Amino acid sequence: MERLIFYVLATVAVAGALGTVSFKNPLSCALSLVVTFVALSGLYFQNDAPFVGVLQLLVYAGAIMVLVIFVIMLLNLPDVQLEQERVSRQGIPLALFLLGPLGVLVISRLISIELGEKPEVNASFGSAASVGELLFEKYLFQFEIISVVLLVAIVGAVVLAKKRL
Amino acid sequence: METLVVLIPLLLLAGSAISGILALAKTRGHEVPDRAISWIACTGPVLAFLFTVLIFNNMGEGQVLVAGYDWILAGGAWIKAGFAVDHLTMVMLMVVTGVGSLIHVYSTGYMKGDGGYARYFCYLNLFMFFMLVLVMANSLLLLFVGWEGVGLCSYLLIGFWWADEAKARAGMKAFLVNRIGDAGFLLGMLAIYKTAGTLNFQDLRTFVAGNPEAFLQGSGFFGVSLATASCLLLFLGATGKSAQIPLYVWLPDAMAGPTPVSALIHAATMVTAGVYMIGRMNFLYALSPTSMIVVSLVGALTAFFAGTIAMTQFDIKKVLAYSTVSQLGYMFIAAGLGAVSVAVFHLVAHAFFKACLFLGSGSVIHAMDGEQDMRKMGGLQRKMPITFITMAVSALAMAGIPPLAGFFSKDEILWKAFSSELGHGWFLWLLGIAAAFCTAVYMGRLIFMTFFGSCRADEKTRAHIHESPKSMTGVLAVLGVGAAVIGFLNVPHFLGGHAAFSHYVDSALMAAGEEPLAAETGSVAVELSLALLSVMVAFAGLMLAWRWWVKDPSLPATYVDRYPEVYELVHDKYRVDEFYQGAIVEPLENVADGTLYKAIDRKGVDGAVNGMARAFRWLGARLASAETGNVRTYVAVMIAGILLVMLSLLT
Amino acid sequence: MGTEAYLIVASLLFLIGASGFLLRRNLLVMFMSIELMLNGAALLFVTFARHWNRMDGQIFVFFIIALAAAEAAVGLSILIAIFRLKHRVNADELSELKG
């Protein structure tokens, strides 16, 4: 059963990713990206990370993607332009000669190695309570830093989006 | 007692700080009444004077020591900063705080309405602080701090009206010339520290008394003994600060500062620091007859040459400046003969009559609307009676007319020179008596040209002439009385006195049972006849001045016409300034500007730096073409990097 | 399922995101490709957190999500500013930073 769920989720995630990079219309891209995110969230659950999985759904698939879709609709690019902007010719050799070897190298290696069995974990692994405990004790300082980063991002976004630059 | 001693300089430092803050506040546009500044500025010196009197009354025979604190760690031993007040210091304290207070009061009238009122008093208080540190220091090093401090304040005050370039330049000249002397002072100090391992006066005196041979060994420089070398180096410092040949050239130019500054710094106190220092170090000078001969000879030559120059100057302050140089020369004659108390007595008397003369000239300049040329004065006698009387008394005192102060002090110096056993005494005496004649002539000339005859000023100025305000005339009166009576402090034995002042000062400088260096020799008859001779010389000088500048004002011109070369030479101050300019300043400037700046700095150093910058700019321009501005290229390079890392990790 | 399977999925997501970035010219799609790469990395973290029984990896995913939110805010506003200026969102036409 677990194996089946994994295959389904993995297939959906990869398919969504392929859709994201290949659709002509950005809106279709964004929607397939949402599909990928949802599948990824499932994979997180499979890995005993329910809290992060929920975050992935809420923040990524929810908030961020809504933002992207808003922008897409705001720009409302005409079809002609979209066609022009689809594929960059100079990117093809780059992708072929750089990503081809990289993919072959990494994936062949991953297929051949043995990492051994996963250990048993207790029930609270990945729950909101235990992640929160770790976050507010060991990673408190980093947590504060990331909030400052978010604040700066908000200010930056406001400045950039003003009528006059 | 110790608290009082420490409070004296601190009062002045506080006054300076407050005035400084007020001056800053004023430049920021805050309203600061001049009255408040006057009160703040005058409180410090007056209180310091009162404290000095208190200490004087309670001191007795010994000295007041203030231990101070660990100051500098040098070669494993702490140098302590502390104060020591003995009789010599006491006299200096009296002069500095007493004359200083009077001049502060005078300044409140003289500087009224000047834009830099608060700044002026900030500098003046700071000057007094450093001067007090100088005379109260218990070691040569702390004395040097005060020495440099008064030099700084002198520079600041000469260039007080810095908007006038000539005045700013005069300040710089004073500072730079002093720097030469200070370099000598520093070297002398280091030589002493290396030999004795201490700079504390008391320890040094003990060391010199215990093992003088340490100082008598050769210094490795032309067979000169260490004592001579260090004494001469210290004396070089003194020639700078006290304006002696060869470094006197800054003092006449220093008259660019406000007149009270000329009176306080460049006549009464700072320029006497060299005399004080030699008096303080007299136990070391006693080890080196050579250096004593040099000191007294330089003093005598300076006294004579400066006296001749003073006779030919027309600027009233320049006359007084050269006369100061000349009188300082007298002090060095005595100091070089080992007669410290005599030198210090002349210092005190000089402080009174020269301060009075300067302040009087300030009063005249004030009345003449800034005019300093004596050729445009004359006949001021009626219009400025107080100024006239006080200045006349001071001038007579300086000329050496009995029973005014200058007679006692100057006659004592001449007598010491004449009776000296050092073997060149008659020469010193001859120069001294010639200088005394000059003194009488130029002092007479100054008084006659300024106050007698008819007024040579133009109509507008003439209408402006008036007696100065009370804060100025009051001070003049006090100083004039001082100049008249201070001589009675030290009536010599042959006139039936007790030489009280000399005993007071000598008791500080001599260890118990030690004889003064220049012991009394010769007979009373000789001493008396010499005194009579010098009085006659003084009267002769005054008579000559009367004949030339009052009775027949055309006479000087005929003599000038008869010996034009001589007159020109003296009037141009022997062209020493021009000589220094040509022999030292210009070659230095050529080296600095031509070689160091244009060749080495601009071509060498700048060339190397700019060349480096140019090389990197060229390299940068080549490398910049790698930046295509296309985001895809950047990402491709990053992925290529990942590929390389992966390759090195996985294969 | 073994850990390796998850790793392969993560690598695939990263590779697909990278190829999307290299091949597409639309800035919006390039932005989404970046998100794909980020998520590939996040999946790695979660997988290894489980594999080594340590939750620190999950914390890192939390941070990645927060950073992605910040990046989205700034990146999209830059995108809008560019569009306002050029009426285009074509990456190849932007080379103002050429040295």
Say which of C31, C59, C81 has its CB closest to residue A160.
Answer: C81
Q: What percent of chain B has pLDDT over 70?
A: 96
Whether residue B245 contacts residue B347, with contact meaning beta carbons closer than 8 Å, is answered with no
Say if C42 is an interface residue toward chain A (CB within 8 Å). Answer: yes
Interface predicted TM-score of the whole assembly (ipTM), two decimals: 0.90
Residue B638 with chain C: CB contacts under 8 Å: none
What average pLDDT does range C23-47 have in this prediction? 92
Choose from B457-466, B629-638, C35-44 the range with maximum mean pLDDT: C35-44
Among B345, B332, B351, B363, smallest CA distance to B450 is for B363
Say if A88 is an interface residue toward chain B (CB within 8 Å). Answer: yes
Quick one: which H or E segment has residue C29?
Answer: helix C27-52
Say if A142 is an interface residue toward chain C (CB within 8 Å). Answer: yes
> How far is residue B591 from each of residues B177, B405, B456, B583, B586, measured CA to CA in Å?
19, 50, 48, 13, 9
Contacts of A149 (CB under 8 A, 6+ apart): C66, C67, C70
pLDDT at B419: 82
Cα–chain center distance at B70: 29
Q: Is the pLDDT of residue B425 over 50?
A: yes
User: Which range among A30-44, B2-16, B415-429 shows the weakest confidence by mean pLDDT?
Assistant: B415-429
What average pLDDT does range B291-317 have in this prediction? 91
Q: Cβ of C35 and A33 within 8 Å?
A: yes
Residue C65 with chain A: CB contacts under 8 Å: 52, 55-56, 59-60
Amino acid at B591: V
User: Which range among B61-65, B120-124, B270-274, C38-42 shows the weakest confidence by mean pLDDT?
Assistant: B61-65
B111/B127 Cα distance (integer angstroms): 17
3-state class percentages of chain C: helix first, strand second, coil last, to nearest 5: 80, 5, 15
Say if B643 is an interface residue toward chain A (CB within 8 Å). Answer: yes
Whether residue B337 contacts residue B414, with contact meaning beta carbons closer than 8 Å, is answered with no
Q: Cβ of C18 and B635 within 8 Å?
A: yes
Tokens standing for residue B262: 């000329």
Q: Cβ of B642 and A90 within 8 Å?
A: no
CB pairs under 8 A between A and B: 23
pLDDT at B519: 47
Q: Cβ of A101 and B643 within 8 Å?
A: yes
The answer to whether residue C96 sits within a structural domain is no
B194/B527 Cα distance (integer angstroms): 44
Tokens standing for residue B33: 């009444």
Higher pLDDT residue, B3 or A33? A33
Say which of A98, A99, A105 has its CB closest to residue B650.
Answer: A105
What average pLDDT does range A144-165 have in this prediction? 87
**Structural domain that includes position C75:** 3-87
Q: Cβ of A98 and B632 within 8 Å?
A: no
B650/B243 Cα distance (integer angstroms): 86
A54/A57 Cα distance (integer angstroms): 5
User: Which range among B72-76, B262-266, B474-478, B491-495 shows the weakest confidence by mean pLDDT?
Assistant: B72-76
Say if A27 is an interface residue toward chain C (CB within 8 Å). Answer: no
Q: Cβ of B639 and A102 within 8 Å?
A: yes
B119/B121 Cα distance (integer angstroms): 6
What pLDDT band is residue B517 in, cutting at 50, 70 and 90? very low
The answer to whether residue C95 sits within a structural domain is no
pLDDT at B503: 80
Strands (E) located in B222-346:
none
Cis upstream peptide for B403 (omega within 30°): yes
- Minimal C-alpha gap between B19 and chain C (Å): 56
> Which one of A43, A72, A122, A131 makes the best mutation probe of the C interface by having the most chain C beta carbons within 10 Å?
A43
Q: Cβ of B639 and C97 within 8 Å?
A: no
Q: Is the pLDDT of residue B512 over 50?
A: no
Q: Is the pLDDT of residue B620 over 60?
A: yes
pLDDT at B513: 47
B580/A82 Cα distance (integer angstroms): 87
Higher pLDDT residue, A83 or B518? A83
- Minimal C-alpha gap between C38 and chain B (Å): 14
What pLDDT band is residue B30 in, cutting at 50, 70 and 90? confident
The answer to whether residue C67 sits within a structural domain is yes
Tokens standing for residue B8: 């004296």
Per the structure, the count of domains in chain C is 1
Q: Cβ of C99 and B635 within 8 Å?
A: no
pLDDT at B420: 78
pLDDT at A165: 56
C16: domain CATH number? 1.10.287.3510
Convert the pLDDT of each residue in B520-558 to its tens digit. 555 778 888 888 888 999 999 998 888 888 888 777 788
Tokens standing for residue B368: 């003449």
Residue B642 with chain A: CB contacts under 8 Å: 102
What pLDDT band is residue B518 in, cutting at 50, 70 and 90? very low
> Which one of B627, B632, B642 makes the best mutation probe of the C interface by having the most chain C beta carbons within 10 Å?
B632
B183/B197 Cα distance (integer angstroms): 20
Convert the pLDDT of each residue in B489-501 to its tens digit. 888 877 777 778 8
Tokens standing for residue B242: 């006290």
Among A142, B312, A151, B235, smallest CA distance to C69 is for A151
B214/B220 Cα distance (integer angstroms): 13
Residue B628 with chain C: CB contacts under 8 Å: 95, 98-99
Neighbours of C90 (CB within 10 A): 16
Answer positive or negative: Cα dihedral of B191, B194, B199, B202. Answer: negative
DSSP annotation string for B550-617: II-TTHHHHHHHHSHHHHHHHHTGGGHHHHHIIIIIHHHHHIIIIIIIIIIIIIIIHHHHHHHHHHHH
Q: Cβ of A68 and C28 within 8 Å?
A: yes
Q: Cβ of C24 and A107 within 8 Å?
A: no
Q: Cβ of B646 and A98 within 8 Å?
A: no
What average pLDDT does range B247-266 have in this prediction? 89
What average pLDDT does range B557-583 have in this prediction? 82
Polymer length of chain C: 99
The owner of tokens 């002349």 is B346
pLDDT at B511: 53
Say which of A3, A131, A139 has its CB closest to residue C1.
Answer: A3
Residue C41 with chain A: CB contacts under 8 Å: none
Whether residue A96 contacts residue B643, with contact meaning beta carbons closer than 8 Å, is answered with no
Residue C28 with chain A: CB contacts under 8 Å: 26, 29-30, 68, 71-72, 75
Tokens standing for residue B581: 């300019």
Instruction: Give the residue from chain A lying closest to C19, CA to CA.
Output: A95
Cis upstream peptide for A26 (omega within 30°): no
Q: Cβ of C92 and B627 within 8 Å?
A: no
pLDDT at B148: 93
Neighbours of A22 (CB within 10 A): 18
pLDDT at B610: 92
Say if C54 is an interface residue toward chain A (CB within 8 Å). Answer: no
Whether residue B253 contacts residue B173, with contact meaning beta carbons closer than 8 Å, is answered with yes
pTM given for the model: 0.69
Say which of B626, B629, B632 has its CB closest to residue C96.
Answer: B629
CB pairs under 8 A between A and C: 233
Convert the pLDDT of each residue in A94-126 to its tens digit. 888 888 888 998 888 888 888 888 888 888 888
Convert the pLDDT of each residue in B211-245 to its tens digit. 888 888 876 677 788 888 999 999 999 999 999 98
> Which one of C4, C16, C53, C95 makes the best mutation probe of the A interface by having the most chain A beta carbons within 10 Å?
C16
Q: Cβ of B646 and A88 within 8 Å?
A: no
> Residue B77: what are its φ and ψ, rounded to 5°?
-120, 140
Residue C6 with chain A: CB contacts under 8 Å: 43, 47
Average pLDDT, chain B: 86
> Which one of B646, B648, B649 makes the best mutation probe of the A interface by having the most chain A beta carbons within 10 Å?
B646
How many Cα atoms within 13 Å fall on the side-chain side of residue B560? Answer: 13
The answer to whether residue C98 sits within a structural domain is no
Q: Cβ of A105 and B646 within 8 Å?
A: yes
- Minimal C-alpha gap between A17 and chain C (Å): 7
- Minimal C-alpha gap between B131 and chain A (Å): 59
Higher pLDDT residue, A13 or B210? A13
Q: Cβ of C99 and B623 within 8 Å?
A: yes
Q: Cβ of A72 and C28 within 8 Å?
A: yes
pLDDT at B471: 84
Q: For residue B531, with 0-12 CB atoms within 10 Å meaning exposed, 13-18 middle and 19 or more buried, which class applies?
A: buried
Contacts of C30 (CB under 8 A, 6+ apart): B631, C20, C21, C24, C91
- Minimal C-alpha gap between B649 and chain C (Å): 16
Q: Is the pLDDT of residue B337 over 70?
A: yes
The answer to whether residue C82 sits within a structural domain is yes
Say if C59 is an interface residue toward chain A (CB within 8 Å). Answer: yes
Neighbours of chain A (3+ CB pairs under 8 A): B, C
Convert the pLDDT of each residue in C78-99 to its tens digit. 888 888 888 878 877 777 777 6
The answer to whether residue C66 sits within a structural domain is yes
B259/B317 Cα distance (integer angstroms): 8
Average pLDDT, chain A: 88
B52/B136 Cα distance (integer angstroms): 12
Say which of B623, B630, B636 has its CB closest to residue C92.
Answer: B630
Q: Cβ of A21 and C50 within 8 Å?
A: no
Q: Is the pLDDT of residue C43 over 90?
A: yes
DSSP annotation string for B140-191: HHHHHHHHHHHHHHHHHHHTTTTTSHHHHHHHHHHHHHHHHHHHHHHHHHHH
Higher pLDDT residue, B463 or B444? B444
